[in-house]
């Protein structure tokens, strides 16, 4: 829907305050334009740009947010070394035809005295939630804020963070936030590795091993379809044999509830595993 053709030659408009974000979105709304939001933590890659591209097909105006959200990182996680590239992000977003980038400071998002946390409920307690306590409360809080700040018609998220996508759908539904949440398929390297800002941490040796994660998920899905109920245990062993230092989980779950799979219902194979100091996550659909 977005008809901007010469965005690549211009720098992108930046809002660094909620007031400025709201002012710009209100002017589009005044012109009856549909607005999409693409929340990110920056260090943008082709996976993020696929979200912008989807957003452009469903909205007249696209806002991307770039904010490394401290509340979704646990103690000892990679907040301080998380890759940051604000100038590169602005350039890529301009080239992708994004209309505005919201780049708030931590103080703008969490002013002194900030005290509320959104509790995303049971969907957030399993898998990632078990490995990273408090992570989804941080995600839920910042995404709820972004949705209320930008008030978009549509918000676009990647299926790479599949549990996050389900949690966000639930937040919008249960808090009556009037937005449609769209999921976009994971973008992969040629060898199957899911694109992630954290891939930048991988050493050459780890990078060579990393595609085993996706390959193993595919083989687990194939085995499950063939009726093998030891497939997850096989997948876990295979990853450890391939040089992954630790597997936080490798599970087959119901695609909507993340509970154990129901016969005949769509499922998902999800995993999180460590290569050295880098934690990779991935998931694929398992259609019975």
C-beta separation of 38 from 65 below 8 A? yes
Q: CB of 275: closest distance to ligand PAF in angstroms?
A: 20
Nearest residue (CB) to ligand PAF, 161 versus 282: 161
Instruction: Say which DSSP state 10 is in.
Output: S
Distance in angstroms (rounded) separating the CA atoms of residues 262 and 90? 44
Which of the residues 48, 60, 135, 214 is marked catalytic?
48
C-beta separation of 183 from 159 below 8 A? yes
Instruction: Rule CB under 6 A: say whether 143 interacts with ligand PAF.
Output: yes
Stretch that binds ligand PAF, among 12-20, 118-126, 137-145, 174-182 (CB under 6 A): 137-145
* Residue ranges in 9-28 that form contacts with ligand PAF under rule CB under 6 A: none
Instruction: Rule CB under 6 A: say whether 40 interacts with ligand PAF.
Output: yes
Distance in angstroms (rounded) separating the CA atoms of residues 254 and 141? 25
Stretch that binds ligand PAF, among 21-29, 39-47, 230-238, 240-248 (CB under 6 A): 39-47
Among candidates 3, 98, 5, 105, which has minimal Cα distance to 44? 98
State which of residues 41, 98, 236, 275 lies at the interface with ligand PAF (CB under 6 A): 41
State which of residues 12, 15, 24, 39 lies at the interface with ligand PAF (CB under 6 A): 39
State which of residues 99, 161, 206, 251 lies at the interface with ligand PAF (CB under 6 A): 161
Among candidates 171, 189, 191, which has minimal Cα distance to 181? 171
C-beta separation of 152 from 178 below 8 A? no
C-beta separation of 16 from 103 below 8 A? yes
Instruction: Rule CB under 6 A: say whether 69 interacts with ligand PAF.
Output: yes
Residues 6+ apart with CB under 8 A from 101: 12, 13, 14, 15, 63, 64, 65, 66, 89, 90, 93
Instruction: Rule CB under 6 A: say whether 101 interacts with ligand PAF.
Output: no
The answer to whether residue 48 is catalytic is: yes
Binding region for ligand PAF (CB under 6 A): 39-41, 69, 72, 139, 142-143, 161, 164
Catalytic (active-site) positions: 48
């Amino acid at each position: 829907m977005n008809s901007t053709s010469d965005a690549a030659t211009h720098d992108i408009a930046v809002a660094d305050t909620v007031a400025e974000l709201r002012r710009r979105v209100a002017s589009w709304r005044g012109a009856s334009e549909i607005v999409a939001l693409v929340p990110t933590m920056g260090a943008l890659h082709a996976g993020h740009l696929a979200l912008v591209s989807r957003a452009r097909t469903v909205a007249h105006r696209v806002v991307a947010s770039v904010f490394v959200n401290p509340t979704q990182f646990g103690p000892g996680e990679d907040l301080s070394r998380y890759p940051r590239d604000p100038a590169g992000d602005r350039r890529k977003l301009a080239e992708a035809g994004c209309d505005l980038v919201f780049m708030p400071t931590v103080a703008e998002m969490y002013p002194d005295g900030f005290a509320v946390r959104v509790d995303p409920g049971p969907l957030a307690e399993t898998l990632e939630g078990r490995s990273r306590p408090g992570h989804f409360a941080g995600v839920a809080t910042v995404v709820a804020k972004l949705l209320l700040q930008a008030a978009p018609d549509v918000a676009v998220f990647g299926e790479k963070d599949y549990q996050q996508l389900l949690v966000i759908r639930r937040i919008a539904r249960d808090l009556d936030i009037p937005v449609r949440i769209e999921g976009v398929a994971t973008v992969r390297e040629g060898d199957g590795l899911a694109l992630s800002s954290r891939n930048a941490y991988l050493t050459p040796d780890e990078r060579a091993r990393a595609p085993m994660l996706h390959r193993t998920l595919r083989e687990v899905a194939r085995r499950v379809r063939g009726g093998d109920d030891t497939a997850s245990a096989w997948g876990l062993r295979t990853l450890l044999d391939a040089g992954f230092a630790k597997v936080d989980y490798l599970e087959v779950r119901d695609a909507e509830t993340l509970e154990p799979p129901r016969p005949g219902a769509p499922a998902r194979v999800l995993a999180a595993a460590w290569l050295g100091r880098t934690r990779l996550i991935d998931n694929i659909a398992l259609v019975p």
